[in-house]
Amino acid sequence: MPGRPGPVSRTVADTAANDGVDFKVYVYDLPARFHTQLAREQRRCISDQYGTEIRIHETLLASPMRTLDPTQAEFFFVPIYPECYLFRANQQHGKEGLAMTNRWYLEALSIVTAAHPWWNRTQGRDHFFVFAGARGPHIFKDWKRSIKKSVFLTPEGDRSLSEQFNTWKDVVIPGLEPDAQFTSGSLRATDPDAPRDIFAYFRGTIVNKGGKSYSRGIRIAMEQELRGVSDVVFTEEIPACGRDCYRRELRRSQFCLCPRGWSPWTLRAYQAMMVGCVPVIIADEIELPYENVL
């Protein structure tokens, strides 16, 4: 029998090139304060699950899909890091963070619309933005007036929020897992038939200051229902079980429970797949990455 396939390592750019996709993307050359300067100043932005706004920019810059000639482009990418900017603004200015992010976004768009003709040609329909967090485009207060017709790349494929996610134009992407032990495939069992002694597993936030509005009460209800079941782990994070412990428990598990938190998407679904655990996604009206082609 053929061996199990190794970890997927092709980038989107590699896949596109190998599969004969020949569309071109023009990446706007915005001032560094909208992207790379933020990443240098806020190293956290590179290493958390919202880092897709950085990773996609970096990938496109080195991609064979990129063109330096906008007249040859089918799509236009606007490289700005709103989650990273908001994190810094919240740290420095507290409640003013979102208002500052809105002004900062409008400044970037003014450069795109005033200095280049490409936006006005289609009212932004062939332009795309990354919204890496659960807020989606709402991180930019004026998004409906400014970029509603553009394409959004987001991990938040919540069909119940049709205002901010349009399944006909937007693209659902995974969140960023910066832990190389997950992405390298080294955590997958060498023997696919090796026993896993944990039937179902969840370790994370159960009770939040938001009360039952957090997770719509699902996590609290599951903890109560599964408490005391011998081969199930459903518990809060504790200092005694850090990152290494979490990885070990995932590898021992057959099914990894992924109940919604504040929003339907969760990084743990992707972590589960990376270790060979079956993710059980508990969230209504969710669209997952690549589901239209898998």
162-217 per-position pLDDT tens digit: 778 888 899 999 989 988 888 888 888 777 778 899 999 999 999 988 777 889 99
Burial 207-234 (b: 16+ CB within 10 A, else e): eeeeeeebbbebbbebbeeeeeeeebbb
Per residue of the chain (294 residues), give pLDDT as tens: 333 333 333 444 444 445 556 789 999 999 999 999 999 988 889 888 889 999 999 999 999 999 999 999 999 999 999 999 999 999 999 999 999 999 999 999 999 998 889 999 999 999 999 999 888 999 999 999 999 999 999 998 887 777 788 888 999 999 899 888 888 888 887 777 788 999 999 999 999 887 778 899 999 999 999 999 999 999 999 999 999 999 999 999 999 999 999 888 889 999 999 999 999 999 988 888 888 777
In a domain, 1, yes or no: no
Range of the domain at 249: 180-282
188 & 262 share domain = yes
| pLDDT of res. 8 | 36
| pLDDT of res. 9 | 37
Residues 267, 211: contact at Cβ < 8 Å?
no
Closest-CA residue to 73 (of 111, 115, 27): 27
| pLDDT of res. 121 | 93
152, 172, 192 - which closes a domain: 172
| pLDDT of res. 129 | 98
230 & 86 share domain = no
168 & 185 share domain = no
In a domain, 293, yes or no: no
93 & 201 share domain = no
24 & 92 share domain = yes
132 & 196 share domain = no
pTM of the complete model: 0.86
In a domain, 200, yes or no: yes
155 & 185 share domain = no
Q: How far apart are CA 144 and CA 128, in angstroms?
A: 14
148 & 242 share domain = no
In a domain, 288, yes or no: no
196 & 91 share domain = no
Tokens of 14: 């590699």
| pLDDT of res. 169 | 92
150 & 25 share domain = yes
| pLDDT of res. 21 | 62
Taking every pair of C-alpha atoms in the chain, what is the biggest distance, in angstroms?
64
**How many domains is the chain partitioned into structurally?**
2
Tokens of 163: 């205002």
In a domain, 22, yes or no: yes
267 & 143 share domain = no
46 & 135 share domain = yes
| pLDDT of res. 10 | 40
| pLDDT of res. 2 | 34
